[in-house]
Amino acid sequence: METIIDNTLFEKQEQVIVFGKFWPRFWALMIDGLVTVPLILVANFYNLASWRSLPLIIVGSLAIFFYRPLMEFYYGATVGKMALKMKVVNTQFEKLSWSNVFLRNIFGLLGTLLQIMGYVYLFNLPGFEFVDSFQSYSNFSNQSGMIWFSILPGLMVIVDAIYFLSNEKCRALHDIIGSTYVIRTRQ
């Protein structure tokens, strides 16, 4: 008795790549925000109004920044992207290298550095020692010109989003810089 093997079963099937669209990526970002909110609340908001510890703000800001690059390098996605079945890959659709991750997150790093510089500036202003609530912190920071340390990172996000919306492969500027794609996974 002969065994017949169908060779078509063993041929490698061509994968269809589906790029991560705007709204799934937006919602993934919102989920990631929920992951980092506890740290933001303690390190920034409560700390600014009560403890006023600059080292805690710096450590908290760096921890929030490193969440995304470390998750992308080790797991290929943040918690938000995993929840929405997306993955970050290089332009050969393979695992990211450290240089891909670093370049992809350069805007976040610049934003974090600007934020830390703003906090150092704020903590050294006369009168900061009298800040005793989040409301008084908001008033003090607005009067001191701290707003510019927030506006610049916000502008980077807007430019990144505009580029994303105009790109046919759903690549934001940070994807281009890092030589990456965000793709949908089948899982």
Task: Tell me the whole-structure pTM to 2 decimals.
Answer: 0.84
* Residue type at position 70: L
User: How many CB atoms sit inside 10 A of residue 159's CB?
Assistant: 13
C-alpha torsion sign, points 167, 110, 135, 145: negative
Tens-place pLDDT, residues 74-126: 999 999 999 999 999 999 999 999 999 999 999 999 989 988 998 899 889 99
DSSP state of 12: P
pLDDT value of residue 14: 63
Q: Is the CB of residue 84 less than 8 Å from the CB of residue 31?
A: yes
Helix/strand/coil for 132: coil
Alpha-carbon dihedral of residues 174, 175, 179, 183, nearest 10 degrees?
A: 160
Closest to 35 (Cα-Cα) out of 87, 103, 82: 82
Q: Three-state SS string across 90-124, please?
A: ECCCCCCCHHHHHHHCHHHHHHHHHHHHHHHHHHC
Tens-place pLDDT, residues 22-81: 999 999 999 999 999 988 888 777 787 778 899 999 999 999 999 999 999 999 999 999
pLDDT value of residue 13: 53
Q: How far is CA 62 from CA 15, 31, 161, in A?
A: 38, 19, 23
Q: How far is CA 41 from CA 24, 58, 94, in A?
A: 26, 14, 36
Tens-place pLDDT, residues 129-181: 888 887 888 888 888 877 777 788 889 889 999 999 999 999 999 999 999 99
CB-based contacts of 58, cutoff 8 Å, min separation 6: 116, 119
* Averaged pLDDT score across all residues of the chain: 88
CB-based contacts of 46, cutoff 8 Å, min separation 6: none
pLDDT value of residue 4: 42
